[in-house]
Chains A and B, each alone.
Chain A
Amino acid sequence: MGVALTKSAQWTTAAGFGTGTLEITPLNEGILKEIIMFVESFIYKHPQEAKYVFVEPLEWKTNLDPSAFESGYVVSATTVKSEEVDKNGQPLLFLSVPQIKIRSFGQLSCLLFIAKDTKLKEAQACIEANRNPVAKILGMDYNTMKEDPSILNILDKITKEDDPESEVKMKMAMLLEELDLHLLNYSLKHASLEIHLNPVTIKKDIELLKHFSGQGEQTVLESIEYTSDYEFSNGCRAPPWRQLHGEICYVLVKPHDVETLCITCCAEGVFLNGGKTDDEGEINYERKGAIYKDLVTFLKHKSAKFSENMSKQVSTRLTEEQQKVKDQPKKAPKKKEADALHKSITSSNKSKLENNQINFGKNQMTKRLEPSVNWKTDVDFKVISVRDTQEKKHGGRPEKSTPPVSPGRAQLVHKNADKTEEIPSESSSESEEDEEPPDHRQEANADLPSEYWQIQKLVKYLKGGNQTATVIALCSMRDFNLAQETCQLAIRDVGGLEVLINLLDTDEVKCKIGSLKILKEISYNPQIRRNIVDLGGLPVMVNILDSPHKILKCLAAETIANVAKFRRARRVVRHHGGITKLVALLDCAQNSTEPAQASLYDERDVEVARCGALALWSCSKSYANKEAIRKAGGIPLLAQLLKTSHENMLIPVVGTLQECASEESYRAAIKAERIIENLVKNLNSENEQLQEHCAMAIYQCAEDEETRDLVRLHGGLKPLASLLNKTDNKERLAAVTGAIWKCSISKENVTKFREYRAIETLVGLLTDQPEEVLVNVVGALGECCQEYENRVLVRKCGGIQPLVNLLVGINQALLVNVTKAVGACAVEPESMVIIDRLDGVRLLWSLLKNPHPDVKASAAWALCPCIQNAKDAGEMVRSFVGGLELVVNLLKSDNKEVLASVCAVITNIAKDQENLAVITDHGVVPLLSKLANTNNDKLRQHLAEAISRCCMWGRNKVAFGEHKAVAPLVRYLKSNDTNVHRATAQALYQLSEDANNCITMHENGAVKLLLDMVGSPDQDLQEAAAGCISNIRRLALATEKARYP
């Protein structure tokens, strides 16, 4: 009992010094009640011990009147004596108003019965007056307030004393010890139940309440504010000397139905204090009421209105959530997670939750979202639900705080969804931004920037103001830094996007202008773009394109240009007829026929066209839009605009053209509309972006031979060559090198480039450039090196080493070009020496293992000149362990280009007898024979060459016949390709040395076909055909001779 009273009971501050009082706290009350129960039942449970006389009486001031005592007491006006007396005849209870002395548990029990309703007070007074009751009951030796008050100690004392009382005393001690333990347990339990408040939770509560405070019937409070603005670093606002008592801060709360309350928030809980004194503004810190566990509970008790509105808030949120969940169950897969939040709140749709639940497995939020009767959790939940409501409104995306796996997963899901919605044929040029970026919103608990609240207010004025107020709010909103993500997201998060989009639907020109000006700025943010599309902003903007006000046209087009950066948006624009309208904007001439208006908000027609082009540029990244632009007659208009000299205009125009030039129809139109001329002209512009787009457009178009010639004729090669020297802007460099690559497919162009010394520059660009540039540079060199002079030039400039170095890359496009370039260089024996020395052949050979067929084929083609020109090629080839087997096995490929190139490699390998023997062992003959049935002329040619080479070994000639390669070969002679004829005739000539083959040929009508070939101007063909015929003829003669000797 003693320990419990000293350690657990909560004494007022003065407790340490003299007569303290017990505070009225739930804990103290509990302890007192436990003690009372103990004392009351004492007389029944332990009648023997109840008679035990205390060593010293328990003495305190009672409020009981002597008249309350009845039978068993001697009552006078001011005194009461119990009839029960000790052995010395002293009464066990003696009351002399107001002092009372009691010396046994029996009397204590009786007193409590008499006290009835006031027994708690009496018990408290008793405990307060007797700070160490055990010592008084059992004597000072049992002072439990001393150190080490162990039960053993007490028992020890008792057993030493031998008087008859000792047994009773021992029992007493045991009982008191039991009580003490019980009380300690009780207070422990209580302590663990109690939620200790800390500055953070209190701050959160107050901020939340503030959010729902204000004028009006719906708010929970009229106002709530701190008494002090200063916050100490520990989060407390109470002055330091009060913080010692665990006090955190003081708040003035004005509920709707009660006077202003001055409240102390301390670690133990929340209570009403003495209020703010009027004169000095000081707070009377004294507690004036019960302690509540938190602010919300406190206010619920104090204000009925608060409690009513608070539950309303919760329920309206809940119904809102549920409604929304119902309304849009599967609107977008991404929303599933947000829905999951609500579902887990309502905790109804457990089954539907299952697939989402997994995301929340490690999420601390689930814990907070578990339904609970506890108000504390309700408050937390409310924080979330408020955020969620906003999120739902604004497109409903999962919070940032969802587990890290979910954005990726959501992304995947959404991508799939996008794919299914999307028409399959989207242009390859749309690469950027087709991924949905993971949406992130400010976290529920994150501190919101001040802009957030200001913007929220402005949005309120937008909603509730007339035209004038709306314009003012719009202008004020534009004063924020709209390029800043915080502001962009704030506008969205407070519901501003809906309002702005709604304004576009009104008749108010000024409001539309203001709204579009804001939308234009914030739509630079990818998330906002998606939100705008989700809210149906695009169709409205498309409609505005028809407006008679040019500024509206401009702004709408510019905003569309920003928004249509992703596929779904571009599709929406197209489906609402936006492309046609945008194309119409390009027609300056048509616009200028309208009567000139002295409208305040007018802009020049050129500006309208520019904005139109800007929007088309964004839209033109989708294949279907390219088609739509063409069908709407966009190309002649773009061509027309290309003649202007406004750079601002030219960039989007050329950008659109460049984007569209990926389509054959555009390339033809570009040629027809004489656009190349202007593209070339603008290569000379000062603007880097313009140069880049022009070069890019040329790159796209120069696949066409006529276009390449046009570029040259209009003098485009020189500016391209000179732009090669400007390497700082990598995008432009990539475009320029691309244009050079494609242009150098024409021999005349290559000659020009050599003249402009572009080849040297290209070689210089082989190192330290990004891959996009390297691909084009190497591609260009590959084309240039088809000519002898350039091969020499590249070698002399030291280009071979960097080229060979690039053979180890992984970029497919780059490898295709590099192998081609190396192959082209290898034609030159001198260069070949260098390549060989750098181990280039081995690198090429290993690229035969590359998974991409293009790389395989290109590497194989490059190997041919290498083998041809290497010194001691046979030895070199043999040195590649497993190399020959690899090549032979490539004949099993199903890619025609790979097969043709490998056949060519085999032709070259087979020139060496030893190697031919090896590949024969690896089964080259059956594999080649298998390929014979093909219509591909390229493959036919190289296959025939390979067969003819492979006939040079052992009984391969016979083997080809056995594998039925001869008959298909004969059919090759019917092809239209002379190269095929020559190679086939040579192969047949080789094969005709075997009699059976001759018979097969004859049977398949080879003789007649070969006779035609003999008349060919191609000498090799003539010879081979003649040789073959002679072999067949010889066999026939021999047979005749044998038959008719």
Chain B
Amino acid sequence: HLCTSLKKDSQFWYLYSCFMVKKSEVECLIRLFHSLVERDDVRLHNNVLDRNTFRATLHNLFGMTDDMLMKRVFFAFDKNDNCMNVKEWIKGLSVFLRGTFEEKLKFCFKVYYLNSDGYISREEIFDMLKNSLHQQSSEKETDGGIEELVEKMLKKMDYDNDGKISFAVFEKAVKEETLLLEVFGQCLPEAKVQCQQPKLVEKTF
């Protein structure tokens, strides 16, 4: 019944037209959203998802593991109020699942810069890569390795040598080498999940 009411909503058609998501898929996502909300404590939230539920969803559906990045993904989905409404949910997932290359590029960049100055700084990169090397021997050595990875990426992307990465630079680098899209950590669903997505969502529901 929620779907039908939503369908009448202009928002639905807006989403439908804007994000190139199939009608059935939008319906599907809406249903998923509400099932998640219901599972959650209804009293506290008024048709919104909180971060924990969202994180669990990211983990279960899309195979994401990095807590910090999932937090960042949440903030990239969410506007500002620390909880996600259905509009944000669908808008986010449409990029997440069916986004064009450009959309995904913007999304990833948004996930990677945290302090909203429009740049990814050296410290942020270090932070994101912190856990990327298995503790081989000493912490010092691992840190050295990460430092070097950060250095390599900055060298590769920081064309203007200001120690931080702007969107323009990020875009340029990723267009040269698509693999760099998720360079600082996985923030999009795994490619294999992406392929099976419609079925998977259907199944979960």
- Residues of A in contact with B (beta carbons under 8 Å apart): 214-216, 457, 460-461, 464-469, 471-476, 478-479, 507, 509-510, 513-514, 548-549, 597-601
Kindly identify which residue among A215, A471, A598 contacts B182, using a CB–CB cutoff of 8 Å.
Answer: A471
A597 to B192, CA, bound (A): 11
The verdict on B205 contacting chain A, using a C-beta distance below 8 Å, is no
Q: A514-B179, A597-B195 are in contact. Are A464 and B136 (CB under 8 A)?
A: yes
Q: Which residue of B lies closest to A217 (CB)?
A: B137
In the complex, chain B residues whose CB is within 8 Å of the CB of A475 = 156, 177, 179-180, 183
The smallest C-beta distance from B174 to any residue of chain A, in angstroms, reads 10
In the complex, chain B residues whose CB is within 8 Å of the CB of A549 = 191
Q: Which of B134-158 contact A (CB under 8 A)?
A: 134, 136-138, 140-141, 145-146, 148-149, 152-153, 156
In the complex, chain B residues whose CB is within 8 Å of the CB of A468 = 128-129, 132, 182-186
- Residues of B in contact with A (beta carbons under 8 Å apart): 98-101, 104, 128-129, 131-134, 136-138, 140-141, 145-146, 148-149, 152-153, 156, 177-186, 188, 190-192, 194-195
In the complex, chain A residues whose CB is within 8 Å of the CB of B128 = 468
Contact check, A472 vs B183: say whether CB atoms are below 8 A apart: yes
Q: A548-B195, A549-B191, A599-B195 are in contact. Are A469 and B182 (CB under 8 A)?
A: no
Contact check, A215 vs B137: say whether CB atoms are below 8 A apart: yes
30 contacts between A and B (CB under 8 A): A215-B138, A216-B138, A457-B148, A460-B145, A461-B145, A464-B134, A464-B145, A465-B133, A465-B134, A466-B133, A466-B134, A468-B128, A468-B132, A468-B184, A468-B185, A469-B146, A471-B180, A471-B183, A472-B129, A472-B149, A472-B153, A479-B156, A507-B192, A509-B190, A509-B192, A514-B179, A598-B99, A598-B100, A599-B191, A599-B195
The smallest C-beta distance from A588 to any residue of chain B, in angstroms, reads 20
Interface centre among A464, A507, A514, A549 (most CB of B within 10 A): A464
Pairs of residues from A and B, 3 with the lowest C-beta to C-beta distance, nearest first = A469-B132, A509-B191, A216-B137
Q: Given A461-B145, A465-B149, list of 13 further CB < 8 A pairs?
A: A216-B137, A457-B148, A461-B149, A466-B131, A468-B183, A472-B153, A475-B156, A478-B177, A479-B156, A507-B192, A510-B179, A548-B192, A601-B178
In the complex, chain B residues whose CB is within 8 Å of the CB of A214 = 141
In the complex, chain A residues whose CB is within 8 Å of the CB of B183 = 468, 471-472, 475
In the complex, chain B residues whose CB is within 8 Å of the CB of A461 = 133, 145, 149
The smallest C-beta distance from A117 to any residue of chain B, in angstroms, reads 48
In the complex, chain B residues whose CB is within 8 Å of the CB of A513 = 179
In the complex, chain B residues whose CB is within 8 Å of the CB of A601 = 178, 191
Q: Is the interface of B mostly helix, strand, loop or mixed?
A: helix
Interface centre among B133, B134, B181, B190 (most CB of A within 10 A): B133
Contact check, A600 vs B149: say whether CB atoms are below 8 A apart: no
Contact check, B179 vs A474: say whether CB atoms are below 8 A apart: yes
Contact check, A472 vs B152: say whether CB atoms are below 8 A apart: yes
Q: Which residue of A lies closest to B131 (CB)?
A: A466
Contact check, A600 vs B140: say whether CB atoms are below 8 A apart: no
The smallest C-beta distance from A1005 to any residue of chain B, in angstroms, reads 84
A599 to B181, CA, bound (A): 13
A514 to B181, CA, bound (A): 13
Kindly identify which residue among A466, A476, A548 contacts B152, using a CB–CB cutoff of 8 Å.
Answer: A476
Kindly identify which residue among A469, A478, A600 contacts B191, using a CB–CB cutoff of 8 Å.
Answer: A600
Interface centre among A476, A478, A600 (most CB of B within 10 A): A600
A472 to B153, CA, bound (A): 7
A214 to B140, CA, bound (A): 11
The smallest C-beta distance from B128 to any residue of chain A, in angstroms, reads 8
The smallest C-beta distance from B153 to any residue of chain A, in angstroms, reads 6
In the complex, chain B residues whose CB is within 8 Å of the CB of A599 = 191, 194-195
A478 to B178, CA, bound (A): 13
Kindly identify which residue among A465, A479, A507, A509 contacts B132, using a CB–CB cutoff of 8 Å.
Answer: A465
Q: Which residue of A lies closest to B177 (CB)?
A: A475
The smallest C-beta distance from B176 to any residue of chain A, in angstroms, reads 10
A249 to B141, CA, bound (A): 29
A473 to B145, CA, bound (A): 11
A510 to B99, CA, bound (A): 18
In the complex, chain B residues whose CB is within 8 Å of the CB of A216 = 137-138, 141
Interface centre among A510, A548, A601 (most CB of B within 10 A): A510
The smallest C-beta distance from A580 to any residue of chain B, in angstroms, reads 23
Contact check, B140 vs A215: say whether CB atoms are below 8 A apart: yes
Q: Which residue of A lies closest to B180 (CB)?
A: A475
Kindly identify which residue among A464, A548, A597 contacts B133, using a CB–CB cutoff of 8 Å.
Answer: A464
Kindly identify which residue among A472, A597, A600 contacts B178, using a CB–CB cutoff of 8 Å.
Answer: A600
The smallest C-beta distance from A63 to any residue of chain B, in angstroms, reads 51
A597 to B190, CA, bound (A): 14
Contact check, B149 vs A473: say whether CB atoms are below 8 A apart: yes
Interface centre among B132, B136, B137 (most CB of A within 10 A): B132
Contact check, A466 vs B178: say whether CB atoms are below 8 A apart: no
A597 to B146, CA, bound (A): 35
Interface centre among B100, B177, B191, B192 (most CB of A within 10 A): B191
Interface centre among B149, B180, B185 (most CB of A within 10 A): B149
The smallest C-beta distance from A481 to any residue of chain B, in angstroms, reads 15
In the complex, chain A residues whose CB is within 8 Å of the CB of B133 = 461, 464-466, 469
In the complex, chain A residues whose CB is within 8 Å of the CB of B134 = 464-466
The smallest C-beta distance from A549 to any residue of chain B, in angstroms, reads 7
A1033 to B45, CA, bound (A): 129
A514 to B178, CA, bound (A): 10
The smallest C-beta distance from B94 to any residue of chain A, in angstroms, reads 11
A507 to B192, CA, bound (A): 9
Q: Which residue of A lies closest to B63 (CB)?
A: A507
In the complex, chain A residues whose CB is within 8 Å of the CB of B182 = 468, 471, 510
Kindly identify which residue among A471, A476, A507, A598 contacts B98, using a CB–CB cutoff of 8 Å.
Answer: A598
A83 to B142, CA, bound (A): 79
Q: Which residue of A lies closest to B97 (CB)?
A: A598
A503 to B40, CA, bound (A): 40
The smallest C-beta distance from A212 to any residue of chain B, in angstroms, reads 14
A215 to B143, CA, bound (A): 13
Q: Which residue of A lies closest to B137 (CB)?
A: A216
In the complex, chain A residues whose CB is within 8 Å of the CB of B195 = 548, 597, 599
A473 to B152, CA, bound (A): 9
In the complex, chain A residues whose CB is within 8 Å of the CB of B180 = 471, 475
Q: Which residue of A lies closest to B181 (CB)?
A: A600
Contact check, B129 vs A469: say whether CB atoms are below 8 A apart: yes
A460 to B194, CA, bound (A): 30
